[in-house]
Amino acid sequence: MTRATQAAAQTPSHRPGAVADDPAVTAADAWKGVAAAAVVVLCWSGFNIVSRFGSTGAFTPFDMAALRYAVSATLALPFFIRDIPVAHYPRYFTLALFGGLGYALFAYSGFALAPSTHAGVFVNGGIPFWTAVLLALTTGLQRSRKIVVSLLLTTAGLVLISAESLFAPLEPGQWLGDVLFLCAAASWAIFGLLVRRWQPGARNAVVGIAGISAVIYLPIYVLWLPKTIQSAGWGDLALQGVYQGIVAALLAAGMYAYATARIGASRASMALALVPAVSAIGAYTLLDEPISLLAGVGIVVVSAGAGLGAWAPRRKAAV
């Protein structure tokens, strides 16, 4: 049994120093979870910028996913084979389906069509949105006034960015990229909730996703999917391989799984409300992507809605 599982199994009366608004989380757990979530914010803000750079350059979305899982699986497969019991493979297959292949392929396909600013809003603002919706539908999460307001705010921000995409004369396919980003967000939200429910441990979750995703995806990529990776320079290959395969697939995913186990999926996802603004500033600085007034307002509204929703009251301990 992992430490996270043991902690979750303890009752409030056995948890000295428990955080007041969540008896299942101690103060030490909360600080560790918040620190892990802060690392995720930095990793995913960079992910939005690096992925947009690669998807508009020498790589197809399928190349990006191949680099992600070829590199991460090389590091993770030995631990996967050693530490994961065969009886648990179905659970890790499900985690890989949502937190690995589903999230990555939707996100990389979106980057080929829409700018990093939109990824920050629709993916990282969409994850807390979908998390709140799924919790409201499947658990004892209260449909309080705060929840309703947060969902309305997030929806309003997403609509603002969508309107910009629909009426963008120079980017006719941009709206489809936004839809793909929303699908990526939904996929990751499901992954976060499953991690919280199954408590696989951060390392096992990461190596399971990397190992199973590579075994499923790489043969399909090599045999059938379109690729332009052969025309990429060594610098581009190194940048995307290291960032996608190590920073995004291993470090960010592991820190998110750790934060989710410590403070719950909803509160871990709240940190992602910071990513849209950080991504927009980074994309403006590094990729020369403009931030329109509509996009700026949408970023602020989505971030406010995501944060409000994640801190809404719950009937149960953090989920």
Residue 225 lies in a domain: yes
Phi and psi of 292, rounded to 5°? Answer: -75, 165
Q: Which residues contact 300 (CB under 8 A, 6 or more apart)?
A: 157, 277
Bigger pLDDT: 244 or 317?
244
Give the total number of structural domains in the chain.
1
Bigger pLDDT: 42 or 25?
42
pLDDT band of residue 143 (cuts 50, 70, 90) is low
pLDDT band of residue 312 (cuts 50, 70, 90) is low
**Mean pLDDT confidence for 104-129:** 87
Residue 268 pLDDT > 50, yes or no? Answer: yes
What does the pLDDT look like over 31-71, one tens digit per residue?
888 889 889 989 989 999 999 999 888 899 999 999 999 99
Q: What is the pLDDT of residue 311?
A: 59
**Mean pLDDT confidence for 156-160:** 79
Q: Structural domain of residue 304, as residue ranges?
A: 25-310
Alpha carbon distance 319, 105 (integer Å): 27
What does the pLDDT look like over 181-210, one tens digit per residue?
999 999 999 998 998 889 888 889 899 999
Q: What is the pLDDT of residue 245?
A: 94
> In this structure, what is the dihedral angle of CA atoms 306, 284, 238, 179, given to the nearest 10 degrees?
50
Residue 15 lies in a domain: no
Q: What is the pLDDT of residue 87?
A: 92
pLDDT band of residue 119 (cuts 50, 70, 90) is confident
**Mean pLDDT confidence for 253-282:** 80
Q: Which residues contact 292 (CB under 8 A, 6 or more apart)?
A: 164
**Mean pLDDT confidence for 157-170:** 71
Residue 192 lies in a domain: yes
Q: Could you tell me what percent of the chain has a pLDDT over 70?
A: 82
Q: What is the pLDDT of residue 181?
A: 94
**Mean pLDDT confidence for 312-317:** 50
Residue 126 lies in a domain: yes
pLDDT band of residue 174 (cuts 50, 70, 90) is confident
> In this structure, what is the dihedral angle of CA atoms 298, 300, 305, 306, given to the nearest 10 degrees?
100
Q: What is the pLDDT of residue 199?
A: 87
Residue 232 lies in a domain: yes
pLDDT band of residue 17 (cuts 50, 70, 90) is very low
Q: What is the pLDDT of residue 59?
A: 94
- Judge whether 44 and 256 are in contact, CB under 8 Å: no
Residue 161 pLDDT > 70, yes or no? Answer: yes
Terminal Cα distance for the chain, rounded: 19
pLDDT band of residue 15 (cuts 50, 70, 90) is very low
Q: What is the pLDDT of residue 19?
A: 41
Bigger pLDDT: 75 or 201?
75
Residue 98 pLDDT > 80, yes or no? Answer: yes
Residue 109 lies in a domain: yes
Alpha carbon distance 145, 138 (integer Å): 18
**Structure token digits, residue 260:** 């989710």
Residue 270 pLDDT > 90, yes or no? Answer: no
Alpha carbon distance 148, 143 (integer Å): 7
Helix (H) or strand (E) holding 23: strand 22-26
Q: What is the pLDDT of residue 141?
A: 57
Residue 29 pLDDT > 70, yes or no? Answer: yes
Phi and psi of 141, rounded to 5°? Answer: -60, 125
Residue 14 lies in a domain: no
When the pLDDT of each residue in the chain is averaged and rounded to a whole number, the result is 82
- Judge whether 195 and 261 are in contact, CB under 8 Å: yes
Residue 7 lies in a domain: no
Q: Which of 222, 194, 34 is nearest to 100 (CA)?
A: 194
pTM: 0.80
